[in-house]
Structure 1
Amino acid sequence: MREFSEAYLERTREGMWDDSRQALAPLALDSRERVLDVGCGTGELSRVLVAESAGEVVGCDADRELLEFAGEHVPVIAGDALRLPFPDDSFDLVVCQALLINLPDPAAALAEFARVSTDLVAAVEPDNGAVEVDSSVPTEERLESRARRAYLEGIGTDVTLGADAREAFSEAGLDVLETRRYDHERTIEPPYGEAALTIAQRKATGAGLADDRETMLEGAMDDEEYDALRSEWRAMGRDVIEQMEDRRYRRSEEIPFFVTVGRVNGPQ
């Protein structure tokens, strides 16, 4: 399973659910007594669940360092999504966000979620193949699309799962009730915050692309193609910084997330 830093999780999930929580309506959070957030990371979704739920929310993640951050908001416990450290029927809702896309067998995880739930299981998963980028730097959209394609070809899990999570739910023995779409939009515009400046710097140095080099080379991309992409990427990053200095840089990114909800249909 991929590992993520606290800074990465905060950067990619910042502002999610601030504009609308309508896609979470099928979870009936106001009627829940005990909710488990699996793969909670630093607790971004956990905080939303606490705000919307009438009952207790518990966070669970395999990364103990991330749990230190989540623990500031909810009770937490370290545990593997495939071997949850809870007895059967411990919760009436088990939910995860951007977790299944990082697992080789999503259905196995969902079956484990169903084991500890008496009622609902829900997954909030993106389709990373349908991300849309608009930038004031002309080359940014093209290069990001190229890098994304190379990454998708090399990754070993289905990071485009999104709306197709229904199949994994059915395989896990859950009755699929509903799937709703939520579009998470991230924008960068003046005045630029520290996170935006860090992203720009990582583009200019190629550090961000370097993080995914090994994965890209697992697909159709070879070393020469990667080096050429990285060279263009760094030039694009310098253009971003130049526009930032003139307060001209603007960027928007829209990522579709799909909230799939299933009901436990009997003893697991």
Structure 2
Amino acid sequence: MRRFSAEYLEHTRRGMWNDDREALDGLELADRRRVLDAGCGTGELTRVIDAETPPDATVVGVDADPTLLGVAREETGLPYAVGDATRLPVPDDAVDLAVCQALLINLPDPTAAVREFARVSSGLVAAVEPDNADVTVTSTVDAEERLEREARAAYLEGVDTDVALGDRVREAFAAAGLKGIQTRRYVHEKRVAAPYAEPALTAAARKASGAGLADNREELIAATSESAYDDLRRRWRAMGRDVVAAIDDESYERVERVPFDVTVGRVETEA
């Protein structure tokens, strides 16, 4: 399983559920009483589920990284437990919904995790997974669009899990024996424009320093080479300095569109 920092998760999931939670309609959250968020990370989705379920519902987050769970606990009083998504520390039929966000794309065997979700759930299993192959970026800094495409193509080639699962999430659900499988695609837009909030300023600084690119250094080098990565980083930092300059004169605008699929299946119970 791939590991991520709290800062990385905050950047990739920032604002995803702030304005519209229609994507979660298929999870029937108003009727859920016991929910497990597997691979919860710093608890962004866990907190949303807690807000959307009845007041007497129990919502638990599970993650293999104790550091991320420490951040989650600081944000909320919800219960969290350390555990692997393929070996969840709960008994059979312990919940009526097992859900994950951006987890299956980071696992070598997504179906194994879905089978485990089906084991612990007596009702629904759901996965919210981005399709990283279809992410697009538009920017008033021309080099940003070009370099984002270049870096993304190398990342997709170098990463050792399928980070563009798309419709293959349905295949994992079917292989796990789930029934009534439904998938809906949504597009999450991250917009940056003046006046700039603190996260936008931080992201620009990370571009200028090369820190943002370094988050995926291992994957980029695997797809190219050390020298190619160094060249990309040099051009990336120059682009970042242009972004910082554009922010200074309030001319910078950026839109990132991240498509994600919400797949829901039902556990088949014996008659």
TM range (shorter): over 0.9
Query: In structure 2, the residue corresponding to 1:118 is in which secondary structure?
Result: strand
Counterpart residue type for residue 250 of structure 1: E
How many residues in Structure 1 have an aligned counterpart in Structure 2? 266
CA distance in 1, matches of 2:132, 2:6: 20
Superposition pairs for residues 71-220 of structure 1, below 5 Å? 71=73, 72-219=76-223
Residues 172-210 of structure 1: CA distance to partner in whole angstroms, max 9, x if unpaired? 221242101121111112222222222111211212212
Distance (Å, rounded) in 1 between the aligned partners of 2:159 and 2:7: 22
| Structure-2 residue corresponding to 1:243 | 246
User: 1:224 is paired with a residue of what secondary structure?
Assistant: helix
Structure 2 distance, partners of 1:213, 1:9, is 16
Q: Is the 8 A contact 1:205 1:237 kept in 2?
A: yes
The alignment's TM-score, normalised by the length of structure 1, stands at 0.95
Partner of 1:170, secondary structure, is helix
Amino acid at match of 1:5: S
Distance 1:176-1:126 versus aligned 2 partners, 3 A rule: farther
Mapped pair 1:21 → 2:21: yes
| Structure 1 residue ranges without an equivalent (≥5) | none
Q: State the alpha-carbon separation in 2 of the partners of residues 146 and 136 from structure 1.
A: 17
Q: Supply the distance in 2 between the matched residues of 1:207 and 1:142 (Cα, whole angstroms).
A: 18
Q: Tell me which residue corresponds to 1:225.
A: 228
- More displaced 10-residue stretch of structure 1: 66-75 or 230-239: 66-75
Contact map agreement 1:188 1:250 (CA 8 A) in 2: yes
Structure 2: gaps spanning 5 or more residues: none
* Percent of matched pairs sharing the same residue: 60
CA RMSD after TM alignment: 1.4
Question: Aligned pair 1:46/2:46, yes or no?
Answer: yes
Distance 2:10 2:199 in 1: 10
Separation (CA, whole Å) in 2 of partners of 1:41 and 1:162: 21
User: What TM-score results when the alignment is normalised by the length of structure 2?
Assistant: 0.94
Are 1:8 and 2:11 an aligned pair? no
* Residue identity opposite 2:103 in structure 1: L
The whole-number CA distance in structure 1 between the counterparts of 2:7 and 2:82 is 20
**Are the structure 2 counterparts of residues 102 and 209 from structure 1 closer, same or farther at C-alpha, using a change threshold of 3 Å?**
same
CA distance in 1, matches of 2:196, 2:8: 18
Letter of the 2:64 partner, please give it: A
Q: Which residue of 1 aligns with 2:262?
A: 259
User: Which AA in structure 1 matches 2:260?
Assistant: F
Q: Describe the SS at the equivalent of 1:24.
A: helix
What letter corresponds to residue 48 of structure 1 in structure 2? V
1:73 CA drift (Å): 4.1
Match of 1:69 in 2: 71
